[in-house]
Amino acid sequence: MGRRGWWPENLCLALSWEFLAVVDTLAVVGATGAVGRIILRLLEEREFPARNFKLLASKRSAGTTVTFRGAEHTVEEMTPEAFEGVELAIGSTPDDIAEQFVPWAVERGATVVDESGFWRMDPKVPLVVPEVNPDAIAEHRGIIASPNCSTTQMVLAMKPLHDAGRIRRVVVSTYQATSGAGLGGSRELKAASRANLNGDEFSPETFAYPIAFNLIPQIGSEKHAGYTSEEMKMVYETRKIFGDDSLRVCPTCVRVPVSNCHSESILVETERKISVDEARELFAATPGITVVDDLAGKRYPMPADCDGHDDVFIGRIREDLSCDNGLAFWCVSDNLRKGAATNAVQIAELLVARKLAASQA
Protein backbone atom coordinates (compact mmCIF):
# COMPACT_ATOMS: atom_id res chain seq x y z
CA MET A 1 0.00 0.00 0.00
CA GLY A 2 1.33 3.43 -0.92
CA ARG A 3 1.53 6.15 1.63
CA ARG A 4 -1.60 7.80 0.25
CA GLY A 5 -3.48 4.60 -0.55
CA TRP A 6 -6.01 5.18 2.23
CA TRP A 7 -7.22 8.57 0.99
CA PRO A 8 -10.85 8.93 -0.08
CA GLU A 9 -11.30 8.63 -3.85
CA ASN A 10 -11.98 12.33 -4.34
CA LEU A 11 -8.60 13.10 -2.76
CA CYS A 12 -6.53 10.45 -4.54
CA LEU A 13 -4.87 12.97 -6.80
CA ALA A 14 -2.04 11.99 -9.10
CA LEU A 15 0.40 14.14 -7.16
CA SER A 16 3.96 13.83 -6.02
CA TRP A 17 5.06 15.41 -2.73
CA GLU A 18 8.30 16.49 -4.37
CA PHE A 19 6.83 19.00 -6.79
CA LEU A 20 5.72 21.58 -4.24
CA ALA A 21 6.19 22.62 -0.63
CA VAL A 22 2.51 22.77 0.29
CA VAL A 23 3.10 23.74 3.92
CA ASP A 24 5.39 26.67 4.65
CA THR A 25 6.40 25.77 8.22
CA LEU A 26 5.60 22.62 10.19
CA ALA A 27 6.41 22.35 13.90
CA VAL A 28 6.92 19.08 15.75
CA VAL A 29 6.16 19.61 19.43
CA GLY A 30 7.75 17.08 21.76
CA ALA A 31 10.37 16.38 19.11
CA THR A 32 12.82 14.71 21.50
CA GLY A 33 10.31 12.21 22.94
CA ALA A 34 9.84 8.61 21.83
CA VAL A 35 6.87 9.39 19.58
CA GLY A 36 8.30 12.74 18.48
CA ARG A 37 11.40 11.06 17.12
CA ILE A 38 9.29 8.61 15.13
CA ILE A 39 7.21 11.51 13.77
CA LEU A 40 10.42 13.12 12.49
CA ARG A 41 11.53 9.85 10.91
CA LEU A 42 8.16 9.46 9.19
CA LEU A 43 8.14 13.04 7.93
CA GLU A 44 11.53 12.35 6.39
CA GLU A 45 10.67 8.92 4.97
CA ARG A 46 7.34 10.09 3.54
CA GLU A 47 8.90 13.31 2.17
CA PHE A 48 6.31 15.51 3.82
CA PRO A 49 5.83 18.64 1.66
CA ALA A 50 6.86 21.42 4.05
CA ARG A 51 9.37 24.14 3.24
CA ASN A 52 10.55 24.62 6.81
CA PHE A 53 10.54 22.45 9.93
CA LYS A 54 10.69 23.66 13.51
CA LEU A 55 11.50 21.27 16.36
CA LEU A 56 10.09 22.23 19.75
CA ALA A 57 10.38 20.68 23.20
CA SER A 58 10.57 21.56 26.88
CA LYS A 59 13.11 23.99 28.28
CA ARG A 60 15.12 21.01 29.49
CA SER A 61 15.55 19.65 25.97
CA ALA A 62 15.96 23.01 24.21
CA GLY A 63 19.37 23.46 22.65
CA THR A 64 19.92 19.81 21.83
CA THR A 65 20.45 18.90 18.20
CA VAL A 66 18.57 16.33 16.13
CA THR A 67 19.56 15.05 12.70
CA PHE A 68 16.65 15.45 10.31
CA ARG A 69 16.68 15.34 6.52
CA GLY A 70 20.45 15.11 6.52
CA ALA A 71 20.99 18.25 8.56
CA GLU A 72 21.41 19.14 12.20
CA HIS A 73 18.40 20.95 13.69
CA THR A 74 18.52 22.73 17.02
CA VAL A 75 15.54 22.03 19.25
CA GLU A 76 13.83 25.23 20.41
CA GLU A 77 11.99 25.79 23.67
CA MET A 78 8.23 25.56 23.32
CA THR A 79 6.95 29.08 24.06
CA PRO A 80 4.01 31.06 22.69
CA GLU A 81 6.37 33.02 20.42
CA ALA A 82 7.84 29.82 18.98
CA PHE A 83 4.59 29.29 17.03
CA GLU A 84 4.86 32.55 15.09
CA GLY A 85 4.74 31.69 11.38
CA VAL A 86 3.86 28.03 11.99
CA GLU A 87 1.17 26.79 9.61
CA LEU A 88 0.86 23.22 10.88
CA ALA A 89 1.95 21.61 14.16
CA ILE A 90 2.06 17.97 15.22
CA GLY A 91 2.25 17.55 18.98
CA SER A 92 3.13 14.56 21.13
CA THR A 93 3.18 15.79 24.71
CA PRO A 94 1.56 15.02 28.07
CA ASP A 95 -1.99 16.32 28.50
CA ASP A 96 -1.03 19.29 30.67
CA ILE A 97 1.50 20.48 28.09
CA ALA A 98 -1.04 20.11 25.26
CA GLU A 99 -3.52 22.16 27.27
CA GLN A 100 -0.96 24.97 27.20
CA PHE A 101 0.64 24.89 23.78
CA VAL A 102 -2.32 24.11 21.52
CA PRO A 103 -4.10 27.45 22.16
CA TRP A 104 -0.78 29.27 21.66
CA ALA A 105 -0.42 27.67 18.23
CA VAL A 106 -4.04 28.12 17.15
CA GLU A 107 -4.09 31.77 18.21
CA ARG A 108 -1.15 32.35 15.86
CA GLY A 109 -2.91 30.74 12.90
CA ALA A 110 -1.60 27.16 13.07
CA THR A 111 -3.61 23.97 12.68
CA VAL A 112 -2.61 21.45 15.35
CA VAL A 113 -2.69 17.67 15.12
CA ASP A 114 -2.56 16.69 18.78
CA GLU A 115 -1.56 13.28 20.13
CA SER A 116 -2.43 13.95 23.77
CA GLY A 117 -5.66 12.99 25.48
CA PHE A 118 -6.58 16.52 26.49
CA TRP A 119 -8.60 17.59 23.41
CA ARG A 120 -9.99 14.26 22.24
CA MET A 121 -13.45 14.50 23.76
CA ASP A 122 -13.92 18.22 23.18
CA PRO A 123 -17.10 18.38 21.05
CA LYS A 124 -15.50 21.07 18.85
CA VAL A 125 -12.46 18.90 18.08
CA PRO A 126 -12.66 16.07 15.52
CA LEU A 127 -11.10 12.77 16.59
CA VAL A 128 -9.65 11.15 13.49
CA VAL A 129 -8.26 7.89 12.18
CA PRO A 130 -7.80 8.65 8.45
CA GLU A 131 -8.79 5.17 7.25
CA VAL A 132 -11.96 5.29 9.37
CA ASN A 133 -13.42 8.83 9.43
CA PRO A 134 -11.34 11.12 7.19
CA ASP A 135 -14.25 13.47 6.47
CA ALA A 136 -14.35 14.49 10.14
CA ILE A 137 -11.36 16.79 9.66
CA ALA A 138 -13.57 19.16 7.67
CA GLU A 139 -15.13 20.15 11.00
CA HIS A 140 -11.89 21.28 12.62
CA ARG A 141 -11.47 24.74 14.11
CA GLY A 142 -7.71 24.61 14.34
CA ILE A 143 -7.37 21.40 16.36
CA ILE A 144 -7.56 17.76 15.24
CA ALA A 145 -7.07 15.03 17.84
CA SER A 146 -5.52 11.61 17.31
CA PRO A 147 -7.02 8.82 19.45
CA ASN A 148 -5.47 6.75 22.18
CA CYS A 149 -3.22 4.04 20.74
CA SER A 150 -5.40 1.15 21.94
CA THR A 151 -8.48 2.79 20.40
CA THR A 152 -6.79 3.50 17.07
CA GLN A 153 -5.98 -0.09 16.19
CA MET A 154 -9.37 -1.33 17.40
CA VAL A 155 -11.48 1.11 15.37
CA LEU A 156 -9.45 0.42 12.24
CA ALA A 157 -10.13 -3.29 12.73
CA MET A 158 -13.80 -2.58 13.39
CA LYS A 159 -14.31 -0.33 10.35
CA PRO A 160 -14.86 -2.95 7.60
CA LEU A 161 -17.10 -5.05 9.84
CA HIS A 162 -19.12 -2.04 10.93
CA ASP A 163 -19.62 -0.95 7.31
CA ALA A 164 -20.69 -4.45 6.28
CA GLY A 165 -22.87 -5.52 9.19
CA ARG A 166 -23.09 -2.68 11.76
CA ILE A 167 -21.41 -3.54 15.04
CA ARG A 168 -23.68 -3.38 18.07
CA ARG A 169 -21.29 -4.54 20.79
CA VAL A 170 -17.54 -4.90 21.35
CA VAL A 171 -15.73 -6.81 24.09
CA VAL A 172 -12.00 -6.09 24.06
CA SER A 173 -9.09 -7.12 26.26
CA THR A 174 -5.84 -5.29 25.62
CA TYR A 175 -2.29 -6.50 26.21
CA GLN A 176 -0.42 -3.19 26.22
CA ALA A 177 3.33 -2.85 25.83
CA THR A 178 5.49 -0.90 28.25
CA SER A 179 6.44 1.61 25.53
CA GLY A 180 2.89 2.92 25.87
CA ALA A 181 4.03 4.48 29.15
CA GLY A 182 6.82 6.39 27.40
CA LEU A 183 10.57 6.07 27.64
CA GLY A 184 10.28 5.39 31.36
CA GLY A 185 8.15 2.33 30.71
CA SER A 186 10.65 0.87 28.27
CA ARG A 187 13.55 1.48 30.62
CA GLU A 188 11.67 -0.03 33.55
CA LEU A 189 10.91 -3.27 31.69
CA LYS A 190 14.63 -3.79 31.06
CA ALA A 191 15.66 -2.82 34.59
CA ALA A 192 12.95 -4.91 36.24
CA SER A 193 13.78 -7.94 34.07
CA ARG A 194 17.47 -7.63 34.88
CA ALA A 195 16.74 -7.37 38.61
CA ASN A 196 14.37 -10.33 38.52
CA LEU A 197 16.84 -12.57 36.71
CA ASN A 198 19.61 -11.57 39.11
CA GLY A 199 17.42 -12.10 42.16
CA ASP A 200 17.73 -8.42 43.15
CA GLU A 201 15.14 -6.21 44.82
CA PHE A 202 13.44 -3.78 42.45
CA SER A 203 11.41 -0.66 43.26
CA PRO A 204 9.20 0.37 40.32
CA GLU A 205 8.75 4.03 39.44
CA THR A 206 6.76 4.11 36.19
CA PHE A 207 4.41 1.24 37.07
CA ALA A 208 2.67 0.43 40.34
CA TYR A 209 4.28 -3.02 40.47
CA PRO A 210 7.34 -4.69 38.93
CA ILE A 211 6.40 -5.41 35.32
CA ALA A 212 8.97 -8.13 34.63
CA PHE A 213 7.33 -11.57 34.28
CA ASN A 214 4.09 -10.00 35.48
CA LEU A 215 0.76 -8.59 34.27
CA ILE A 216 -0.85 -5.47 35.72
CA PRO A 217 -4.63 -5.34 35.10
CA GLN A 218 -4.86 -1.59 35.56
CA ILE A 219 -3.84 1.16 33.14
CA GLY A 220 -4.83 4.62 34.29
CA SER A 221 -6.80 5.71 37.32
CA GLU A 222 -10.13 4.45 38.64
CA LYS A 223 -12.71 6.21 36.52
CA HIS A 224 -16.24 4.81 36.28
CA ALA A 225 -18.06 1.81 37.75
CA GLY A 226 -14.87 -0.19 38.25
CA TYR A 227 -13.37 0.78 34.88
CA THR A 228 -10.09 2.68 34.50
CA SER A 229 -9.43 5.89 32.61
CA GLU A 230 -7.68 3.92 29.84
CA GLU A 231 -10.71 1.67 29.47
CA MET A 232 -13.18 4.54 29.37
CA LYS A 233 -11.09 6.24 26.70
CA MET A 234 -11.77 3.23 24.49
CA VAL A 235 -15.50 3.52 25.15
CA TYR A 236 -15.88 7.25 24.56
CA GLU A 237 -13.38 7.57 21.72
CA THR A 238 -14.84 4.63 19.76
CA ARG A 239 -18.32 6.11 19.96
CA LYS A 240 -17.07 9.53 18.87
CA ILE A 241 -15.07 8.21 15.91
CA PHE A 242 -18.03 6.21 14.59
CA GLY A 243 -20.53 8.90 15.53
CA ASP A 244 -22.66 6.33 17.35
CA ASP A 245 -23.36 6.67 21.08
CA SER A 246 -25.32 3.40 21.01
CA LEU A 247 -22.18 1.32 20.46
CA ARG A 248 -21.62 -0.89 23.50
CA VAL A 249 -17.96 -1.30 24.37
CA CYS A 250 -16.65 -3.41 27.27
CA PRO A 251 -12.86 -3.03 27.65
CA THR A 252 -10.28 -4.52 30.00
CA CYS A 253 -6.81 -2.98 29.70
CA VAL A 254 -3.73 -4.86 30.92
CA ARG A 255 -0.07 -3.86 30.97
CA VAL A 256 2.18 -6.74 29.87
CA PRO A 257 5.96 -7.26 29.85
CA VAL A 258 6.34 -6.64 26.12
CA SER A 259 8.55 -3.78 24.98
CA ASN A 260 6.50 -2.57 22.00
CA CYS A 261 3.25 -3.29 20.11
CA HIS A 262 -0.17 -3.51 21.73
CA SER A 263 -2.21 -6.68 21.26
CA GLU A 264 -5.98 -6.95 21.58
CA SER A 265 -8.45 -9.81 21.80
CA ILE A 266 -11.61 -8.43 20.20
CA LEU A 267 -15.12 -9.84 20.04
CA VAL A 268 -17.77 -7.99 18.04
CA GLU A 269 -21.48 -8.61 17.71
CA THR A 270 -23.05 -7.38 14.46
CA GLU A 271 -26.60 -6.80 13.33
CA ARG A 272 -26.01 -8.85 10.18
CA LYS A 273 -24.10 -12.09 10.52
CA ILE A 274 -20.63 -11.94 9.00
CA SER A 275 -18.93 -15.27 8.34
CA VAL A 276 -15.27 -15.92 8.99
CA ASP A 277 -14.54 -16.07 5.25
CA GLU A 278 -16.34 -12.79 4.62
CA ALA A 279 -14.57 -11.13 7.55
CA ARG A 280 -11.21 -12.30 6.26
CA GLU A 281 -12.00 -10.82 2.84
CA LEU A 282 -13.19 -7.55 4.38
CA PHE A 283 -10.05 -7.22 6.48
CA ALA A 284 -7.77 -8.06 3.56
CA ALA A 285 -9.42 -5.42 1.36
CA THR A 286 -9.02 -2.64 3.92
CA PRO A 287 -6.03 -0.29 3.55
CA GLY A 288 -3.93 -0.31 6.68
CA ILE A 289 -4.81 -3.89 7.67
CA THR A 290 -2.68 -6.99 7.10
CA VAL A 291 -4.22 -10.42 7.67
CA VAL A 292 -2.02 -13.16 9.15
CA ASP A 293 -4.43 -15.98 9.87
CA ASP A 294 -3.31 -19.59 9.62
CA LEU A 295 -3.82 -21.41 12.90
CA ALA A 296 -2.82 -24.80 11.46
CA GLY A 297 0.42 -23.30 10.22
CA LYS A 298 0.94 -21.45 13.53
CA ARG A 299 0.85 -18.09 11.76
CA TYR A 300 -0.80 -15.17 13.56
CA PRO A 301 0.23 -11.63 14.51
CA MET A 302 2.73 -11.30 17.34
CA PRO A 303 4.37 -8.16 18.74
CA ALA A 304 7.85 -9.35 17.78
CA ASP A 305 6.80 -9.52 14.12
CA CYS A 306 4.71 -6.32 14.02
CA ASP A 307 7.25 -4.00 15.65
CA GLY A 308 8.28 -1.19 13.32
CA HIS A 309 5.34 -1.58 10.92
CA ASP A 310 2.48 0.83 10.27
CA ASP A 311 -0.33 -1.64 9.59
CA VAL A 312 -2.80 -3.19 12.00
CA PHE A 313 -2.32 -6.97 11.88
CA ILE A 314 -5.28 -9.33 12.33
CA GLY A 315 -5.48 -13.10 12.83
CA ARG A 316 -7.22 -15.86 14.80
CA ILE A 317 -10.48 -14.91 13.05
CA ARG A 318 -13.29 -17.19 14.26
CA GLU A 319 -17.00 -17.27 15.03
CA ASP A 320 -18.08 -16.56 18.58
CA LEU A 321 -19.41 -19.83 20.02
CA SER A 322 -21.65 -17.96 22.49
CA CYS A 323 -23.38 -15.53 20.12
CA ASP A 324 -25.06 -16.10 16.75
CA ASN A 325 -23.77 -12.88 15.20
CA GLY A 326 -20.46 -12.76 17.05
CA LEU A 327 -16.99 -12.72 15.59
CA ALA A 328 -13.71 -12.98 17.52
CA PHE A 329 -10.23 -12.06 16.34
CA TRP A 330 -6.73 -11.10 17.48
CA CYS A 331 -5.24 -7.71 16.64
CA VAL A 332 -1.66 -6.39 16.99
CA SER A 333 -0.23 -2.99 16.10
CA ASP A 334 2.87 -0.93 16.81
CA ASN A 335 1.52 1.52 19.38
CA LEU A 336 4.27 4.07 18.76
CA ARG A 337 3.67 4.08 15.01
CA LYS A 338 0.03 3.55 13.92
CA GLY A 339 -1.10 4.03 17.50
CA ALA A 340 0.55 7.44 17.67
CA ALA A 341 3.13 8.87 15.24
CA THR A 342 1.90 7.36 11.96
CA ASN A 343 -1.73 8.29 12.59
CA ALA A 344 -0.74 11.89 13.34
CA VAL A 345 1.38 12.17 10.20
CA GLN A 346 -1.42 10.63 8.12
CA ILE A 347 -3.80 13.28 9.47
CA ALA A 348 -1.30 15.96 8.44
CA GLU A 349 -1.07 14.39 4.97
CA LEU A 350 -4.86 14.37 4.75
CA LEU A 351 -4.89 18.11 5.52
CA VAL A 352 -2.36 18.65 2.73
CA ALA A 353 -4.44 16.55 0.32
CA ARG A 354 -7.52 18.62 1.04
CA LYS A 355 -5.58 21.84 0.64
CA LEU A 356 -4.34 20.68 -2.76
CA ALA A 357 -7.80 19.52 -3.78
CA ALA A 358 -9.28 22.90 -2.83
CA SER A 359 -6.59 24.75 -4.79
CA GLN A 360 -7.39 22.70 -7.90
CA ALA A 361 -11.17 22.98 -7.59
Give just the sign of the alpha carbon dihedral 276, 277, 278, 284: positive
Checking 10-13 for CB contacts under 8 A at 24+ apart, the result is: 10/357, 11/134, 11/350, 11/353, 11/354, 11/357, 13/353, 13/356, 13/357, 13/360
Active site residue 262: yes
Residue 182 · residue 33 · CB < 8 Å: yes
From start to end of 37-91, where are the E strands? 50-57, 65-68, 71-74, 76-77, 88-91
Question: Looking at 149, 261, 306, 331, which residue is catalytic?
Answer: 149
Q: How many CB atoms lie within 10 A of CB 276?
A: 14
Cβ of 142: how many Cβ atoms within 10 Å? 15
Q: Given 140, 261, 262, 306, which residue is catalytic? A: 262
Integer Rg of the chain from CA: 20
**C-alpha span between 31 and 82 (Å, rounded):** 14
**DSSP-H helix ranges across 46-200:** 95-107, 149-165, 183-198
Let me know: does 153 contact 172? Beta carbons within 8 Å.
no
CA separation (Å) from 184 to 193, 231, 258, 297? 14, 21, 14, 37
Query: Considering only CA atoms, which of 302, 300, 327 is closest in space to residue 315?
Result: 300
- Beta partners for residue 176, in sequence order: 255
The values of phi and psi at residue 14, to 5°, are -80, 75
Beta carbons within 8 Å of 112's beta carbon, 6+ residues apart: 88, 89, 90, 91, 102, 105, 106, 142, 143, 144
- Annotated catalytic sites, by residue? 149, 262
